[in-house]
Amino acid sequence: MKVLLVVLLAALSCTSVFGSRVVVSITALHLGATSAEVGGIMSLYFLPPMLLSMSMGRLVDRAGVALPMALVAVLLLTGHVLPAAWPSLWTLAISAACTGTAFVGVLIALSSAAALSGRPEDRAVNFSWFTMGTGVGVGLGPLLSGIAIDGLGDRMASLTLGIWPVALLLVLALAGRRLPTVTAVAAAAGPAAIAAPAGRMAWLGLLREARLRAVLTANVMGPAGYEVFLFVLPVQGTRIGLSASTIGSLLAASAVAIFVVRLAMPIVARRVREWNIIMALFLALGSCFLLLSVVTQTWILYVISIVMGIAQGLGQPLMMSMFFSASPEGRKGEAAGLRGILQNTCSAASPLLMGGLGSILGLGPVLLAASVVYAWGGWFAHRQSRRW
pLDDT tens, residue by residue, 58-92: 888 788 888 899 999 999 999 999 999 999 999 99
Q: What is the pLDDT of residue 351?
A: 63
Report in angstroms the alpha-carbon separations of 298 from 188, 227, 241, 301, 366. Answer: 49, 21, 10, 5, 21
pLDDT tens, residue by residue, 115-139: 777 676 677 778 778 888 887 887 7
2-189 — its CATH code? Answer: 1.20.1250.20
Q: Percent of the chain having pLDDT more than 90?
A: 24
CATH architecture entry for 202-387: Up-down Bundle (1.20)
Per-residue confidence band for 202, with pLDDT thresholds at 50, 70 and 90:
low
User: What angle in degrees, to the nearest 10, is found between the helix axes of 332-361 and 298-326?
Assistant: 150
pLDDT tens, residue by residue, 312-359: 888 878 887 788 777 777 676 677 777 777 877 776 677 667 767 777
- Region(s) of the chain under CATH 1.20.1250.20: 2-189, 202-387
Q: What is the pLDDT of residue 276?
A: 86
